Each structure stands twice: as structure tokens, then as C-alpha cells.
Amino acid sequence: MKIKNICCIGAGYVGGPTMSIIAHKNPNIKVNVVDMNADKISAWNSKDLDNLPVYEPGLSKVVKEARGRNLFFSNDINKYIDQADMIFISVNTPTKTSGEGMGYAADLKYIEACAKQIAEVSKTDKIIVEKSTVPVRTSEKIRQILKLNNSHVDFQILSNPEFLAEGTAMRDLEIPDRVLIGGDKTPDGQKAIESLVKIYTSWVPRKNILTTNLWSSELSKLTANAFLAQRISSINSLSELCEETGADIEEVSKAIGMDSRIGSSFLKSSVGFGGSCFQKDILNLVYIARTLGLEKVADYWEQILIINEHQRNRFSSKIIDFIKKENLEPEVLMLGWAFKKNTNDSRESASIYVTNNLINNSIKVDIYDPKVKEYQVNFDLSSLNPDYDASLVNYIDNPFINISSYNTVVITTEWDEFKDFDWKTVYNNIKKPAYIFDGRNILKSEIIKKIGFNYLGLGRN
Ligand code: UDX
Ligand code: UDX
């Protein structure tokens, strides 16, 4: 089937950038991105390209070029489902908060609702593409819902997980390591796969497009994320060992990563990984393993999350203990709220947990982030703890405005501007003794110590 019209349900961090690139690279295909959130759609349609709902370097340029030509954003979900030959499902799949699998399993209610809506609206054959990260065998569930609610139309189901990382989404989409497409082994399934392959070959070399069966594709996405997270917890566990032994985690990480069999990526020690995917996907993997009776497998992967939480708490305790022990002002300047640099996304950011720990110890936290807005900070804290003491949290637009009242700076996101600060001037104005808790190991400890700061990184002495 030659695809002329695509609909994507979900205009979030995955749907928005992915569809922008597909439209940009395929000017002859009409791409309609729909979402039930009206505010989000008007923001995607806004003239102010600096305030799109998703901040990603390079995104606004692509949106500017394709929007109104063959890329459209709308709330009229039914209309664009009806028109489409191919429908991507990019809605969120959060961890369940109630019912069977609570706290572990992915909640598929939005995916299931989309499948029902597609079935009810469709009058012509369609290819349905799972973009959202889902538990293995979700496509079977989608197939059942489609069949049950519409027996006149042929639906082919594909799995096409997205591997983009936030902050580098546009680059990852432009030059993906691989595009993964899973589908049925039947002739119709293979034809559907080829329709999607054709869209990607507009810019991705064919050799980088991997086709598999549906289940392999679904499971590969979950486990790729689990592998990445596992490397971070491994290096973070070693950071504690470094502090006890006098080794330096940055040196250890470099030495390990230079082994070409291991590789140097994802070996940066940090206050803990965040983001919408790693925790959710590992919980899901643990749940699947437990459901299948594979207790040892489940325990193995769960340990990654235990170390991640331990690292956040360990970092918070260092700050709290120093403030108490050294009798410092119980007020810190927190630099960073996003879960990593170059994004406005703060889902599961370590900064949320660290702040919660600090305010539970009556420490005031003034927060600065170049891209995350104040309402999001309040939303994140109240989602973690509805009774949090808001009087202890302050969102600031300029990190230096109140600098003379702090003894302590806490770095939670690795934004370049923090690395590039004139730390000498900061030191001259900050209250003494001055402490920096570098939860990202972004500063050169020797230089910072020379200026006069007491420097505490992770796994560094
Ligand atoms: C999400 C998941 O986090 C990820 O695991 C999955 O791979 C893809 O979906 P993301 O794009 O980051 O990724 O989520 P989010 O930014 O929350 O976007 C989802 C969008 O779907 C939201 O804008 C929401 O309004 C929309 N949505 C959700 C619908 O339009 N309809 C629904 O029924 C549910
Ligand atoms: C991740 C996967 O990388 C991507 O392939 C998938 O599609 C979605 O999930 P994302 O969560 O956007 O992407 O960002 P990523 O770069 O993987 O970082 C996740 C977290 O790990 C961040 O909090 C980051 O700061 C942290 N991290 C990453 C480290 O602490 N150390 C590292 O070495 C790398």
C-alpha cells in the first residue's frame, strides 16, 4: 500500500518530533498529528516557535518548514483517523497506579482507548503502528480490540518503537542507529512492513532498517532501555565504592569505557537517571518476568531501580548532613530541574526526589532551570508529595539574584550554562563557607577547589 495520509495520535515528546521529521522528509505524505489535549495542539500551532510544547534543539526549524505544508496539528481525532492509511499510536503508557500489576505494569488504557476509537471510526483498511513503548504482546491486545469493534475493515499491526533520546531527538531521528519494524510474517503483514520501510528510506539507509516479528520488536525496545539504565546504575554503584577507596569515578569510567568491547557511552556517574522511560520500562520488565514466574530475572533487573533510588538518597543525605554538621544556612540554590540537559521535560527527574528529601529536612530550596517552567516544578513536587511544604520552595528566574544568602549550590542537571558560569565571581558573592554539590560531575573539581569552594561530586575525592 502506498501511504499518502498518516495520522499520529499523541502530540507529546515522541509523537511531535517524530512526525515532524517524517513530514519533513516525505513532502508528498500528509501527516496529521492529533491529541485530546486542546492546549497542546494550540501550542503546536502557535506562531511563537520558541514556545512549542516540546523543547528540542532543531525542532522549531523543522516545524516551521513543514507545518501548513504537509504537517498539521489538530484536535479532530476522528476526522484524521478516518482519512489515514496509516495510524501511529504515540500516547503515554504510564505505570499502573491501581489494580493488577499496580506500581509495576504499564497502564495500557490509553492505547486500548485509541484502538477502540480507530475501530469505531474506520471505514477503509489501515495500518496501525505502535510507537509507544509497550509490554511484549500488546499488539495482540490491539488486534483483538480492533476486530471486536470493526469486522469490515482490514487492520495490519506493526511495532515501530522509537529510540530517540530527549535533548538529541532531532539528531537521533535524522541519523538513527537503526529503525526497528516488527510485523506479522503473513504476506499482508510483510506488505505493511514494506509500506513503513518506504517512508523511512526517504532518509534512512535500508541497511539500517531492521525488520522482525512483532514480539521481538516490542521486547527489544523495553530491553534496550533496561540495558542503558543498567550501565548507569552500575557506574553509580561504583561511585560509592570510589568514595570509600580513594579512586575517582571519572578516571575509572574513562578506563572502563576505553575497552572497545564495553564502549564509553552511558558511563557518566550522576545523581540518578530520570525521564519517562527507564523506570517505567524496567518496572514493566520486572512485572513481565514475575508474571512468568522468573523471580531471579525479575530481581536482577529490579536492582537497577534500587541503586538509582539509593543514589538519589545518598546525594540528598550528603547535602543534609553537611548543612547540619557545618551549621550552614538551611537554604540551597538548586541548578537544574529537567531530567537531563537540552529538554524542558522533568518527568522522574532526580531533582524532584532530592528537593523532596531536602524540604523534609526543613531546608529551603531555590530552583533555577533554563527551560522548565514554575508550574511544572510545583506540579512535580505535589505529584510526589501532595502535602509538601511549598513555603520551602522558590522558583527563580535568575540564579544569582539572591546569591549572597546561600552557602550551598546543588547541581542536578548538566546544562552547559552551569559548566560555563563564572564560578570565580559566584564565589566572590556567595556566603562563606561555600559548598558545591555536583550531582552531575560537570565541574573540574581542582579548579573549583582552587577558587575556594568546598567541592563534593559523586565518586570523587
Ligand atoms: C509516551 C510514553 O512515555 C512513551 O513510553 C511512549 O513510547 C510514547 O508515549 P511521550 O511522547 O514522551 O511518550 O508522552 P507524552 O509527552 O505524555 O505524550 C503523549 C500524548 O498523548 C499527550 O499529549 C496526551 O495528551 C496524548 N493522549 C494521551 C491522547 O491524545 N489520547 C489519549 O487517549 C491519551
Ligand atoms: C532514553 C533512551 O536513551 C532512548 O533510546 C529511549 O527512546 C527513551 O529513553 P531519554 O530518557 O530521553 O532516552 O534520555 P537518556 O539520554 O537515555 O537519559 C536518561 C537519563 O539517564 C537522564 O536522566 C540522563 O541524565 C541519565 N544518564 C544518561 C546518566 O545519568 N548517565 C549517563 O551516562 C547517561
Instruction: Provide the domain count of the chain.
Output: 2
In order of 56, 67, 92, 106, 347, the CA distances from 13 in angstroms are 9, 17, 10, 18, 11
Q: How far apart, in whole angstroms, are the C-alpha atoms of residue 419 and residue 207? A: 39
The residue contributing the CA closest to ligand 2 atom 17 is: 165
For residue 132, the CA-to-ligand 1 centroid distance in Å is 8
- Whether residues 268 and 166 share a domain: the answer is no
Q: How far apart, in whole angstroms, are the C-alpha atoms of residue 25 and residue 23? A: 5
DSSP 134: -
Q: Is 277 designated active site?
A: yes
Mean pLDDT, the chain, whole residue set: 96
The residue contributing the CA closest to ligand 2 atom 11 is: 275
Higher pLDDT, 256 or 94: 256
Q: How sure is the predictor about 134, in pLDDT bands with cuts at 50, 70 and 90?
A: confident
The residue contributing the CA closest to ligand 2 atom 1 is: 165
Q: How far apart, in whole angstroms, are the C-alpha atoms of residue 14 and residue 301? A: 25
Residue 283 C-alpha cell reads as 518496572
Q: Which one of 166, 187, 212 terminates a domain?
A: 212
Q: Is 221 designated active site?
A: yes
Single out the catalytic residue among 7, 8, 114, 277.
277
Q: Which ligand is nearest to the CA of 35?
A: 1
Q: Identify the pLDDT of residue 137.
A: 84
Q: What is the mean pLDDT of residues 170-189?
A: 97
| Residue among 367, 370, 31 nearest 199 (CA) | 31
Q: Which one of 157, 188, 212 terminates a domain?
A: 212
Contact 433, 406 (CB under 8 A): no
Mutate to test the pocket of ligand 1, among 8, 44, 91, 145 (most ligand atoms within 8 A of CB): 91
Q: Is the pLDDT of residue 136 over 90?
A: no
- Whether residues 202 and 349 share a domain: the answer is no
Q: Identify the pLDDT of residue 184.
A: 96
Task: Locate the ligand 1 atom nearest the alpha carbon of residue 35 and give its number.
Answer: 30
Whether residue 223 is contained in a domain is answered as: no
Whether residue 66 is contained in a domain is answered as: yes
In order of 6, 154, 185, 192, the CA distances from 2 in angstroms are 11, 16, 19, 10
Q: Is 8 designated active site?
A: no
- Whether residues 260 and 402 share a domain: the answer is yes
- Whether residues 146 and 271 share a domain: the answer is no
- Whether residues 161 and 289 share a domain: the answer is no
Query: Domain of 10: which CATH number?
Result: 3.40.50.720
Q: What is the mean pLDDT of residues 438-452?
A: 97
Cβ–ligand 2 distance for 270 under 6 Å, the answer yes
Cβ–ligand 1 distance for 132 under 6 Å, the answer yes
The residue contributing the CA closest to ligand 1 atom 7 is: 132
Q: Which one of 163, 188, 212 terminates a domain?
A: 212
Whether residue 218 is contained in a domain is answered as: no
Whether residue 405 is contained in a domain is answered as: yes
- Whether residues 316 and 262 share a domain: the answer is yes
- Pairing mode, strands 86-89 and 71-74: unpaired
Structure pTM? Answer: 0.94
- Whether residues 184 and 330 share a domain: the answer is no
Q: What is the mean pLDDT of residues 264-275?
A: 98
Backbone angles phi, psi at 158, to 5 degrees: -125, 155
In the chain, the percentage of residues whose pLDDT exceeds 70 is 100
The residue contributing the CA closest to ligand 1 atom 1 is: 92
- 333 SS3 class: strand
- Whether residues 200 and 261 share a domain: the answer is no
Mutate to test the pocket of ligand 1, among 7, 9, 14, 379 (most ligand atoms within 8 A of CB): 14
Task: Locate the ligand 1 atom nearest the alpha carbon of residue 221 and give its number.
Answer: 7
Q: Which domain holds residue 432?
A: 246-456
Whether residue 221 is contained in a domain is answered as: no
Q: What is the mean pLDDT of residues 118-147?
A: 94
For residue 273, the CA-to-ligand 2 centroid distance in Å is 7
Whether residue 229 is contained in a domain is answered as: no
Whether residue 241 is contained in a domain is answered as: no
- Whether residues 253 and 341 share a domain: the answer is yes
The residue contributing the CA closest to ligand 1 atom 30 is: 35
- Whether residues 329 and 393 share a domain: the answer is yes
Whether residue 228 is contained in a domain is answered as: no
For the stretch 38-58, pLDDT in tens is 999 999 999 999 889 999 999
Cβ–ligand 2 distance for 44 under 6 Å, the answer no
Q: How sure is the predictor about 90, in pLDDT bands with cuts at 50, 70 and 90?
A: very high
- Whether residues 143 and 80 share a domain: the answer is yes
- Whether residues 199 and 255 share a domain: the answer is no
Residue 332 C-alpha cell reads as 540551597
For residue 343, the CA-to-ligand 2 centroid distance in Å is 12
Q: Identify the pLDDT of residue 201.
A: 98
